[in-house]
Amino acid sequence: MFRRLYRAAKQSYLGERAGWIPEKYWSQFVCLGSASDWHYLLSRVVPKSKKRVLVVGVHGGRDYFYFKSAGHEVVGQDLFPDDDFGEVIIGNIEDVQIPEKSFDVVVASAVIEHVADDFAALKNIRRILKDDGIFILCFPLYNDWEITHLHIYSDESMKRLAKSVGFSVRQSFGYPNLFFYPPLFNIPLHGINALIFALTHGTVYQYILPPLWRLEFFLSRKHTWLFRAFRYVLGKFHNGNLLTFVCGKDEVFSHLDHNKGRFQPHD
């Protein structure tokens, strides 16, 4: 019974969007813990004027359906096709052939740590992005327990890597802060909505979620001390410990020349 009420509440909350978003992705619009709260972050950093969006690693669906529901023109890129999405460009992000400067926004969330050549991947993304475009890069910090991760990053090491291909970090967000253990928030949230829906055929997602999104967004950019304090604890939970960079195009910084200047012998 609860599952039926939960489904009906999600459908009611989504309204007409429920007709074209596959049901298996509905929960991403109502759950907390790198789901609907992540959608809120995207809404704060990507203006509606940036229409054409490329989602790298599209098959989780979260970013694709958020941008589509927000009125953007969305294209996915991944290693294999999926009927749930419209246009999907198939290939490896290190060398996939996409026209130069063809997207206003590129999003790569939990992708870069999986690719063999992260430098080549970022370099290709920079080529694809328009000169005034936005690149959103989300990656795990100090994560060596996931077997598919080929790289381990700190915030500073990723900044250096981004700088070396010609990106500058404009904004940085650390999370999860409030939602470090999502079931703690989602179970009572869905329970309350199921009860309200059973009594009134209406939901309270629209009243409960926005203030929680705003609080998480505030913590992610203002209180990084809290994020750092959770760093070692969060690795034990499903979400892990993530950092998001909002980047713009900049001059390429040559670390080779920099290293020559620091280490070349002088008379």
What range does the domain containing 43 cover? 2-256
Residue 247 lies in a domain: yes
User: Is a pLDDT exceeding 80 seen at residue 230?
Assistant: no
Residue 263 lies in a domain: no
* Angle 95-123-84 from CA coordinates, rounded to 5°: 55
Question: What's the pLDDT score for residue 224?
Answer: 56
CATH number of the CATH domain containing 236: 3.40.50.150
Residue 243 lies in a domain: yes
Q: What is the DSSP letter of 70?
A: T
Confidence of residue 241 (pLDDT cuts 50, 70, 90): confident
Rg (CA), the chain: 20
Residue 109 lies in a domain: yes
With contact defined as beta carbons under 8 Å apart, do 107 and 55 qualify? yes
Question: What's the pLDDT score for residue 239?
Answer: 44
User: Is a pLDDT exceeding 80 seen at residue 109?
Assistant: yes
Question: What's the pLDDT score for residue 261?
Answer: 64
Question: What's the pLDDT score for residue 144?
Answer: 80
Mean pLDDT of 225-235: 55
Mean pLDDT of 127-148: 92
Q: What percent of the chain has pLDDT over 90?
A: 69
Mean pLDDT of 163-185: 90
Residue 265 lies in a domain: no
Strand order in the sheet with 73-78: 88-90, 73-78, 52-56, 103-109, 129-140, 242-249, 167-175
Question: What's the pLDDT score for residue 178?
Answer: 83
Mean pLDDT of 54-58: 96
Question: What's the pLDDT score for residue 267?
Answer: 60
Stated length of the chain: 267
- Average pLDDT over the chain, rounded to an integer: 89
Residue 237 lies in a domain: yes
Question: What's the pLDDT score for residue 154?
Answer: 87
Residue 84 lies in a domain: yes
Confidence of residue 130 (pLDDT cuts 50, 70, 90): very high
Residue 267 lies in a domain: no
Both tokens of residue 239?
A: 């979400």
Confidence of residue 235 (pLDDT cuts 50, 70, 90): very low
User: Is a pLDDT exceeding 90 seen at residue 260?
Assistant: no
Residue-wise pLDDT for 205-221, tens only, equals 999 999 999 999 988 88
Domain count, the chain: 1
Both tokens of residue 228?
A: 């750092």
CA 253 to chain centre: 26
Mean pLDDT of 224-249: 66
| Single-letter residue type at 218 | F
At residue 138, φ and ψ (nearest 5 deg) are -115, 130
Both tokens of residue 116?
A: 């063999």
User: Is a pLDDT exceeding 60 seen at residue 128?
Assistant: yes
With a CB cutoff of 8 Å and minimum separation 6, the contacts of 84 are 22, 25, 61
Question: What's the pLDDT score for residue 117?
Answer: 97
pTM, two decimal places: 0.89
Distance, in Å, from the CA atom of 53 to the CA atom of 132, rounded to the nearest integer, reads 13
